Amino acid sequence: MGEFDYTDLLPLGADETEYRLITSEGVRQVEAAGRTFLEVEPEALRLLTETAIHDISHFLRPSHLAQLRKIVDDPESSGNDRFVALDLLKNASISAGGVLPMCQDTGTAIVMGKRGRHVLTDGRDAEHVSRGVYDAYTRLNLRYSQMAPLTMWDEKNTGDNLPAQIELYAEDPHGHPDEYKLLFMAKGGGSANKSFLYQETKAVLNEKRMMAFLEEKIRSLGTAACPPYHLAVVVGGTSAEYALKTAKYASARYLDSIPTEGSPSGHGFRDLEMEAKVFELTQKLGIGAQFGGKYFCHDVRVIRLPRHGASCPVAIAVSCSADRQALAKITPEGVFLEKLETDPARFLPETTDEHLSDDVIAVDLNRPMPEILAELTKYPVKTRLSLTGPLVVARDIAHAKIAELLDNGGEMPQYLKDHAVYYAGPAKTPEGYASGSFGPTTAGRMDSYVGRFQAAGGSMVMLAKGNRSKQVTEACQEHGGFYLGSIGGPAARLAQDCIKKVEVLEYPELGMEAVWKIEVVDFPAFIVVDDKGDDFFTDRTGPVLTIGRR
């Protein structure tokens, strides 16, 4: 029996974050019972939350932007790596104007706080934080994505993006009893859907088995969540849910300051050597920044946690190109928020996208569908395109309604026969703009519809982000269709530069899930699946790693 030895599971080091002062109001020190307390008014929590949601919707960390610039400057980057990175830098510069959010999926609001024992509030902290979330989403050009369950099967959009996920802990952050430390995140569906838990055993706890396991699982992430990713891998955990939560925090770099070595007391630690090896693996996959290359990931975090001897959870999570999080603190000096980059244009290079990738094929979407198909069939997968003309926009609920229409003996809508279909859902349209942020959604969610729709003459050209299943490749080969991949991430740039007109075609009651018709100019895309049975991603499914060889 050992002596009692307490340790935090994830002991954080010193906080090196650069903060900016939001307000010095709403906080004051009070004396009671011979101690000094920090009293925090509800308005301070509300204002901090509203400001944080605004900032993470429009600004990124300088370190993230520097990593994008690194891709542009790296001579080993593929042309497509550099093109995607440059487009994301342009998008960040537009978003920083504070009008168009960086991504159309403005996410679920997630807030984690640690309140010191000498911090006094009215006890309704979660309510005040929620009010700040409400104010941000209803006042800004953000999207409402939260669905309230009315029955097991029926849902209704809440219309304000509430509820938020709020977790508050009684803990002296960094040993300061008079501080309140918080982490704000906005997690979109694409990256949230790429959080995975695997229940493994001790058999995976050796380098050869672990690297083979991780290669398989990292490949399966695909590109639907808009790489380059910040990838987090957590091995172990006192429970499955703790492993997953740790992976989420690690992907936000919240745990960067934990120890880099383990100890008999059982705290978690970062394995820097494994981080380097897994990062090297991601660079060899060939997937790159969405359309082939080296930069599938910006970086990797690998965290080892204690575990029950009969259990070995492994969790994987990513933060996507909309790398939205910020730290905050409330101290006797005031209310502070992490200082994000308000001038991302300084990371833009002098070179233009014409210098960064192969020739671009202009595609006129005003032509009849048979002519568009005849043009696309001339080019191989990976070809970069520039689309101009009309697109029909439809995603999950609209596809379900059209499928129901076909089930009941109805006809495929003519608009899906005549036009390419863009899987997307817009954020709110700012005054004076043709569109709100309007980037692509994950294509795979519509895979089950493709065969039926193409057999009925619809969805012959599809546009979205991420890889597709084999059934889509087979349907395109059988019916002569194409799937075009759009860059995931630059929703603000697409709204400002490419989308010139937006109108509702059908199902207006569905809000952003309605069927839309939009006019685009020079909309960037790549051929991912063609009419010959070729899929850009299929030649990237074999092993690339051999342990022990250089």
Question: How does pLDDT run across 66-117, given as a tens digit for each residue?
Answer: 999 999 999 999 988 998 999 999 999 999 999 999 999 999 999 999 999 9
| Distances from the Cα of 358 to the Cα of 227, 354, 384, angstroms | 20, 8, 7
Question: How does pLDDT run across 441-461, given as a tens digit for each residue?
Answer: 889 899 999 999 999 999 999
Q: Residue 358 — very low, low, confident or very high, per pLDDT cuts 50/70/90?
A: low
Predicted confidence at residue 539, as pLDDT, reads: 52
Please tell me the least confidently modeled range out of 26-35, 157-166, 234-243, 483-492. 483-492
Residues 285 and 81: their CA atoms lie apart, in Å, by 13
Is the Cβ–Cβ distance between 289 and 71 less than 8 Å? yes
| Distances from the Cα of 102 to the Cα of 68, 367, 426, angstroms | 15, 32, 12
Residue 547 has pLDDT above 80, yes or no: no
The pLDDT of 145-157, averaged and rounded, is 94
The pLDDT of 281-305, averaged and rounded, is 94
Predicted confidence at residue 107, as pLDDT, reads: 95
Residues 11 and 168: their CA atoms lie apart, in Å, by 17
Is the Cβ–Cβ distance between 71 and 85 less than 8 Å? yes
Predicted confidence at residue 378, as pLDDT, reads: 96
Please tell me the least confidently modeled range out of 78-82, 307-311, 408-412. 78-82
Q: Residue 3 — very low, low, confident or very high, per pLDDT cuts 50/70/90?
A: confident
Residues 113 and 173: their CA atoms lie apart, in Å, by 9
DSSP 3-state helix, strand, coil percentages of the chain (rounded to 5)? Answer: 35, 25, 40
Is the Cβ–Cβ distance between 244 and 315 less than 8 Å? yes
Q: Round to the nearest angstrom and report the end-to-end CA distance of the chain.
A: 45
Predicted confidence at residue 357, as pLDDT, reads: 47
Residue 161 has pLDDT above 80, yes or no: yes
Is the Cβ–Cβ distance between 247 and 233 less than 8 Å? yes
Q: What is the mean pLDDT of the chain?
A: 93
Residue 211 has pLDDT above 70, yes or no: yes
Longest dimension (CA), the chain: 82
Q: What is the pTM of this model?
A: 0.84
Residue 240 has pLDDT above 90, yes or no: yes
Q: In terms of pLDDT, which residue wins out, 506 or 537?
A: 506
Predicted confidence at residue 199, as pLDDT, reads: 97
